[in-house]
Each structure stands twice: as C-alpha cells, then as structure tokens.
Amino acid sequence: MDNAEIELINFFFGSQRRLTNILRWNTTPRICSESVASHSYFVSLYSMIIADYLENRYKYKIDKEKVIRFALLHDIEECFSGDIVASIKASSQEFRESLEKLNFKVLEVVFKNLSNKKEYIDNWKESRKYDCLESLIVRVSDIISQILYSFEELKMGNSFMQEIFESSLQRLRFFKEEWVQNFLNEIIIFTSKNLDISFSETRAFSHEIIKGEDY
C-alpha cells in the first residue's frame, strides 16, 4: 500500500469509531438510547432530503456535497468530548470559546493521519457558523432529529423527554425562514394528533436550570 492508503486505513480504525458507543441525552432517563453515530446518520439523511426539497420547491441553489459534509462532521468532536448538554454549552460565552478551542485540538487528532485534514476541519468550522443555507439546513435537521427522538420516547411513556421535546420545538420558532416555520407547523399538527401529553411549565430533570445564551 502507498502512503495515501495507509492514511485511510489508520483513519478507519481511528477515534471516530467511538461515536457508536457515545450516548446522547446522558443526563436524562431514556428507554432507548441514541448514539452520536446514529444521530449523525439521521441528521445527514434529513439534510439530504431537505436540500432536495428546497431545491425543487423554492428553486434554491444548494451545494449538496457541502450539506452532506457538514451533516456528517457536525458532531465528530464528540468522539472525545462526549455529548455535552446544550444548556451547559450555552452557559457562558467564555465556556463556549474555550470548548471550541479544545474541539480544534480534538479535530487535529481525529484527522491527523489524513493529508487533507485541513479541508475537513474547515468544513467542520463552517458547519457551525449557520450563516449559509447549507449550514442552516444541517442545523434545522439536527433539531428535527431531536424532536423525533424525544417524540418516540414520549410515545413509549418516557415523560422525562417532554422538556426536551418542547424546547426542541421552541428552537425552531426562532428561525425566520418560511420553510422552517412550515415544517414546524406540520410537526406540531402531527405530534399533537399522536401524543397524549399536557404541556407544563414544571419539569423534572430540567436542562433549563442553567440559564445562558442561545446555542
């Protein structure tokens, strides 16, 4: 094998494989656990479907390769950091900046065996800026994935997921784009017909105990 093939094999056997064993929502009681790898698959799938929809419905020009790259890479740093609760990430700007610096070091380790590691790190950085349509699609898909997971947990009787379900719906309300609000309205209609829960201001195991900036 030449050096390029050795680089690939070393990456394949590398630290990103941990994502299959790193669980999301690790501070909340769960019935069926969700790994970061599983979540990233669905975010990638939904991102692809939404990109096609927007291109066909609204005639947007979308870099679909960039969408998929963003989706696949958006949580890859969690192979070292684990899934950090969103409210902790949002607790302070200082913490977020420190975490991002640490994540850069993590990405250097994850992609260290690849000669084009800078390309992947740049893709990861761009995916988190949310200042282009491609990154916005991935962010919305990420939130939709949260909604679907918490919806399934609620259907199985896990009331601890109600707060996550409600806060995920609320996050979609902040987007001004017509297509996002259309999705939100349809999601609310669908889930309202299929969930028998009462929305409450009192939540056990709340992720909102630590108040911070939007994340």
pLDDT digits (tens, 9 = 90+) for 183-203: 999 999 999 999 986 655 434
Task: Please compute Rg for the chain using Cα positions.
Answer: 18
Say what the pLDDT of residue 193 is.
93
User: For every residue of the chain, which 3-state class applies, written as one string?
Assistant: CCHHHHHHHHHHCCHHHHHHCCECCCCCCCCCCCEHHHHHHHHHHHHHHHHHHHHHHHCCCCCHHHHHHHHHHCCCCHHHHCCCCHHHHCCCHHHHHHHHHHHHHHHHHHCCCCCCHHHHHHHHHHHCCCCCHHHHHHHHHHHHHHHHHHHHHHHCCCHHHHHHHHHHHHHHHCCCCHHHHHHHHHHHHHHHHHCCCCCCCCCCCCCCCCCCCCC
Can you state the angle between helices 133-155 and 64-73, rounded to 10 degrees?
50
Instruction: Quote the CA–CA distance of 49 and 212 in Å, as a whole number.
Output: 32
Q: What is the pLDDT of residue 199?
A: 54
Phi, psi of 23 (to 5 degrees): -95, 145
Phi, psi (deg, nearest 5) at residue 63: -85, 95
Phi-psi region of 20 (alpha: psi -120 to 50; beta: other; left: phi over 0): alpha
What confidence score (pLDDT) does residue 59 get?
97
Hey, how many other C-beta atoms are within 10 angstroms of the C-beta on 145? 23
Residues of the chain with pLDDT under 50: 201-215
Residue 17: the pLDDT is: 94
Cβ atoms within 10 Å of 149's Cβ, excluding its own: 22
pLDDT at 151: 97
